[in-house]
Amino acid sequence: MNARARVSATRQQLSAAVIAASLGWGLAVAMTLLLLTALGDLAFELPYELRAAARGVAIFMGVAATLVTAFRSRGAWRLGSVALWLEENAPTLNYALVTLILDAGGSTEALEDHVARVDWRAPLRRRIGRGTVTPLLVATLATGAFLLLPTNALTRVRSPRPDDGFLAPRGPGESSDPFHPLQVRIIPPAYSGLAGRTLQDPLAVAALQGSRLQIEGHASAETLTAGVGDSSLRVSTNGDRWTISLPMPARPRVLTLTTGTRHRLLTLEPEPDSIPQVHLLLPSRDTARRDLTGVVQLDARARDDFGLESAWFEYIISSGEGENFTFRSGVISRRSGDNKQSLGITTALSLDSLRLAGGNVIHVRAVARDRNTSTGPGLAASETRTIRILRPDEGDSVSVDAMAPAQGDSSLLSQRMLLLLTESLQRRRPRLRRDTVIEESRAIARDQSALRRRVADVIFMRLGGEGSAEESEGAEGESELTPEALMRAASDTAMANGGKPLDFSEDESPVVALNRPLLEAYNAMWDAGRELEIGEPGRAIPHMRAALEAIQHARQAERLYLRGQPKPVVVDLARVRLAGKLTDANPAGTGPRVTGGETTGRLLDRFTAVLELLPDERAVDSLTVLRIDALDTAPGFAQALAPAIANLRAGRDATESLVQARRLLAGPAATTTGLPSWSGAP
């Protein structure tokens, strides 16, 4: 056999090895994918769509692996490439083989002799072994592992069907328990995007509200009954299987399965779809403004556990006061949620377009709706922010509610101005004489003192006090009230205003809770004033900065329009219950009406007793007898009774005529010298 024939034989062997390796890799890849799918299916109950796709993907990847492997080893098909490979793996050839195969010249006999002396079977065997053993081993292991899986698991991957499950057919030696094995397939509502899953022999089934449950088992459907609560369920059969299909109830229920004397309970636990969470980020707080134009930035974020359908802003504009209110409402910036779990909406609300007037209140909130088409849609809204447009005359009268913004703003500017003056004085201080420093510092101290009294005014006004304790106690320009005294006085004012304060946290006094920032500002101003009085502007600056910061905090922390506290009406219970002292009662010591003597009193007693019988028919007879008795002694009363009796006999309302009759019998109202001390209501 010459060299060319030997190389040709080698090429055939290598080609066969390449084909085997390619097929081996293809099979290994495909079977590994199928094995992983089956294992995943066993663990997570993969949906039908995924399993069907996995089979196609496995075939495609197997073919691809085969082709790639074959392509990468394409040199095995060409004689020259094989010769080069032999030269590489058998160096003793000394390029004699390549020279022969490529016909590159030289002595053919000498080359043939040289090649004939070289044996390359060993490297060839190693190459074929390495190239084919690994893929064939992997393919064998994957196939073996796949075939060792349970039959129904193999079937679910090999031939997936939409309605297949893990419920295995009962073997001849298996238990005759009709409820074992039991399989529950959960099909979540489509909007959730959740995958279906199957439970084997569960005691309880927890699933999203709106899911459909398919319960399967082995038993004769003719003897099997199923029910949830008082309602029974239809049982259908398919071969040796029974199937019950029901929606997940809205509330936890127990499913009862009964056949013969055996029964099984299955708890159905619905998991509700949460409504969206909506947060209004801007505006961050309620506010009041004077201008009717401009833009208010709105910003909100919405989240949902499965996906949002849409989100938008709603506004209501209320106009009017007292008993006359009108409303307008609208929706702006509606945005599709695109099934996202989180969505932000932002827009600018143009006040010009709302045709606002003074006294209007704009209520703004963000609303979001989820995609729950099963039990929803879930609709949720953020907290509402209000933007109040001030009336033009608001603030002109002392009877209006205390307006924190105006007070706070003016205090803020003044405090900032005083701070600038003090800082300027401190910078100039090295160049000034001590007397000048003290003089200018005390001037600032006087302004600081005046500003402090204004803050005290605000505190008192908001607590319902009629004026500043500082103003009333101190002389003009001089303050006698310490911070502690101010707090005590403010507290006294709050408690003396009747009843409890509106609202305050548990750990603080009402005064501190309501006015904390302003009290901080007040205290800081007090400290600053003291330093300025002794001509130490540098030491006053930190306190002044603290006061400025506290005022800013007060502006931001509180609602800007506080309502007044209505004056409570205290009911005199003893007086209402007629349980007052004798000296407080009517001096006459009699009832409110004058009775007409003993006969009339007896008639009144009988009449009252008869009224107790109403609406019984006996009352009509009794009234008739009473009328006859009264004809002599109280003719007016008897005459008034006639229409009452007629109305009662006809089944009509006799209240008015009975009241008139009673008034006649009771006599006219008593007159006294003074006002009665009780109201006399029935």
Partner 1 sequence: MSEFVFATAQYESGDWDSAPLVPANVIDSVARYTSLAVAPTGVIVSLGSPDLLRYPLVFLTGHLPVRFSQAESRMLGELIGRGGMLFVDDHNHDVDGVFHRTAIEEIARVAGPLNDLPNDHPLYSAYFHFTGGPPTTSHELNGWGDNLVHKHLQAVQREGRIAVLYSSKDYSSEWNYHPETKRFNSVDNTRFAVNLVVYALTR
Nearest-CA neighbor of 361 among 463, 288, 438? 288
Given the structure tokens 């608001």, which residue do they identify?
Answer: 394
Which of 80, 169, 499, 591 lies at the binding interface for partner 1 (CB under 8 A)? 499
In this chain, which of 431, 433, 434, 577 binds partner 1, going by CB under 8 A? 577
Q: Is 624 in the site for partner 1 (CB under 8 A)?
A: no
The reply to whether 129 sits near partner 1 by the rule CB under 8 A is: no
Which residue is listed with tokens 């600038």? Answer: 420
The alpha carbon dihedral of 84, 85, 90, 91 has a sign of positive
Please tell me whether residue 318 binds partner 1 under the rule CB under 8 A.
Answer: yes
**How far apart are the C-alpha atoms of 40 and 149, rounded to whole Å?**
12
Minimum Å distance from CB 318 to partner 1? 5
- Backbone region of residue 597 per phi and psi (left: phi > 0; alpha: psi in -120 to 50; beta: other values): left
The nearer residue to partner 1, 11 or 301, going by C-beta atoms, is: 301
Shortest distance in whole angstroms from residue 273 CB to partner 1? 16
| CB proximity list for 535: less than 8 A, separation 6 or greater | 434, 437, 438, 441, 442
The mark string for 348-387 relative to partner 1 (x by CB under 8 A, - otherwise) is -------------x-x-x---------------x-xx-x-
Closer by beta carbon to partner 1, 566 or else 651:
566
Q: Give the nearest distance from C-beta 331 to partner 1 in angstroms.
A: 14
Stretch of 73-81, 122-130, 498-506, 524-532 lying at the interface with partner 1 (CB under 8 A): 498-506
Distance CA 149, CA 36 (A): 11
Closest CA to 131 of 72, 61, 60: 72
C-alpha to C-alpha distance for 124 and 131, rounded to whole angstroms: 11
Closest to partner 1 by CB, 477 or 566? 566
Indicate the residue among 50 and 316 with the shorter CB distance to partner 1: 316
Residue closer to partner 1 by CB (options 113, 572) is 572
Return the range that interacts with partner 1 (CB under 8 A); candidates 5-13, 26-34, 317-325, 459-467: 317-325
Q: Are residues 307 and 377 in contact, defined by beta-carbon separation less than 8 angstroms?
A: no
Which residues pair with residue 370 across a beta bridge?
308
Provide the minimum distance between the beta carbon of 155 and partner 1 in the complex, in angstroms, as a whole number.
48
503 lies in the site for partner 1, by CB under 8 A: yes
Figure out which of the listed residues 323, 396, 466, 598 binds partner 1, where binding follows CB under 8 A.
323
- Binds partner 1 by CB under 8 A, chosen from 148, 475, 573, 582: 573
Asked whether position 19 contacts partner 1 by CB under 8 A, the answer is: no
Shortest distance, position 40 Cβ to partner 1, whole Å: 42
CB of 77 or CB of 327, closer to partner 1: 327
C-alpha span between 461 and 402 (Å, rounded): 6
The footprint of partner 1 on residues 414-433 (CB under 8 A) is none
Rounded (5°) CA angle 189-191-192: 75
397 scored as a contact of partner 1 (CB under 8 A): no
* 563 lines the binding site for partner 1 (CB under 8 A): yes
Regarding 159 and contact with partner 1 (CB under 8 A), the answer is no
Is residue 236 a contact residue for partner 1 (CB under 8 A)? no
Buried b (16+ CB within 10 A) or exposed e, 5-30: ebbeebbebbeebbbbbbbbbbbbbb
Q: Does 572 bind partner 1 (CB under 8 A)?
A: yes
Task: Confirm or reject binding of residue 169 to partner 1 (CB under 8 A).
Answer: no
Pairing state of beta strands 287-289 and 385-389? parallel
Whole-angstrom distance, CA of residue 281 vs CA of residue 65: 55
- Name the minimum Å distance from CB 151 to partner 1: 51
Report how far Cα 24 is from the mean position of its chain's Cα atoms. Answer: 56
From the list 135, 15, 118, 116, the residue with the least C-alpha distance to 66 is: 135
Least distance between partner 1 and beta carbon 679 (Å): 4
Residues with Cβ < 8 Å from 449, sequence gap 6 or more? 477, 478, 479, 529
Phi, psi of 264 (to 5 degrees): -140, 140
Give the number of other CB atoms < 10 A from CB of residue 481.
Answer: 22
Q: Which of 298, 381, 312 is nearest to 347 (CA)?
A: 298
Give yes or no for residue 591 binding partner 1 (CB under 8 A).
no
Exposed e or buried b per residue across 195-230, where buried means at least 16 C-beta atoms within 10 angstroms of its C-beta? ebbbbeeeeebebbbbbbbbbbbbbebeebebebee
Is position 562 an interface residue for partner 1 (rule: CB under 8 A)? no
Contact stretch for partner 1 (CB under 8 A) within 87-95, 324-332, 349-357, 404-412: 324-332
Positions 204 through 233 that interact with partner 1 (CB under 8 A): none
Q: What is the closest distance, in whole angstroms, from the C-beta atom of residue 609 to partner 1 in the complex?
A: 19
Nearer to partner 1 among residue 441 and residue 515 (C-beta) = 515
Q: Classify residue 71 by its DSSP letter.
A: H
500 touching partner 1, by CB under 8 A:
yes
571 binds partner 1 (CB under 8 A): yes
Is residue 399 at the binding interface for partner 1, with CB under 8 A as the rule?
Answer: no
Please give, one letter per residue, the 3-state secondary structure of 320-340. Answer: EECCEEEEEEEEEEEEECCCC
Q: How far is the CB of 248 from partner 1 (least distance, A)?
A: 21
**Minimum CB distance to partner 1 smaller for 57 or for 332:** 332
Q: x/- binding map, residues 660-679, to partner 1, per CB under 8 A?
A: -------------------x
Among 570, 582, 650, 675, binds partner 1 (CB under 8 A): 570
316 touching partner 1, by CB under 8 A: yes
Q: Which is nearer to partner 1, 291 or 323 (CB)?
A: 323
The size of the interface with partner 1 (CB under 8 A), counted in residues, is 34
Q: Of the listed pieces 151-159, 525-533, 569-577, 641-649, which binds partner 1 according to CB under 8 A?
A: 569-577
Rounded Cα gap, residues 430 and 393, in angstroms: 50
Beta bridge partners of 346: 299
Cα distance between residue 222 and residue 681, in whole Å:
75
Q: Which is nearer to partner 1, 384 or 647 (CB)?
A: 384
Q: How far is the CB of 501 from partner 1 (least distance, A)?
A: 9
- Please confirm whether the linkage preceding 615 is cis (ω < 30° from 0): yes
Name which position in 190, 400, 576, 628 contacts partner 1 (CB under 8 A): 576
Residue 298 CA neighbour count, 13 Å, CB half: 28
Q: Residue 565 interacts with partner 1 (CB under 8 A)?
A: yes
Distance CA 627, CA 191 (A): 78
- Prior bond to 181 cis, omega within 30? yes
Binding status of residue 682 toward partner 1 by CB under 8 A: yes
The piece of 57-65, 126-134, 486-494, 562-570 that touches partner 1 (CB under 8 A) is 562-570
Give the residue with the Cβ less far from partner 1, 542 or 568. Answer: 568
Distance of CA 83 to the CA centre of its chain: 75
Among 133, 240, 327, 556, the residue binding partner 1 under the rule CB under 8 A is 327
The distance of closest approach from Cβ of residue 503 to partner 1 in the complex, given in angstroms and rounded to an integer, is 4
Q: 624 is written with which tokens? A: 């008739």
Residue numbers of the site for partner 1 (CB under 8 A)? 316, 318, 323, 325, 327, 329, 361, 363, 365, 381, 383-384, 386, 499-500, 502-503, 506, 563, 565-573, 576-577, 679-682
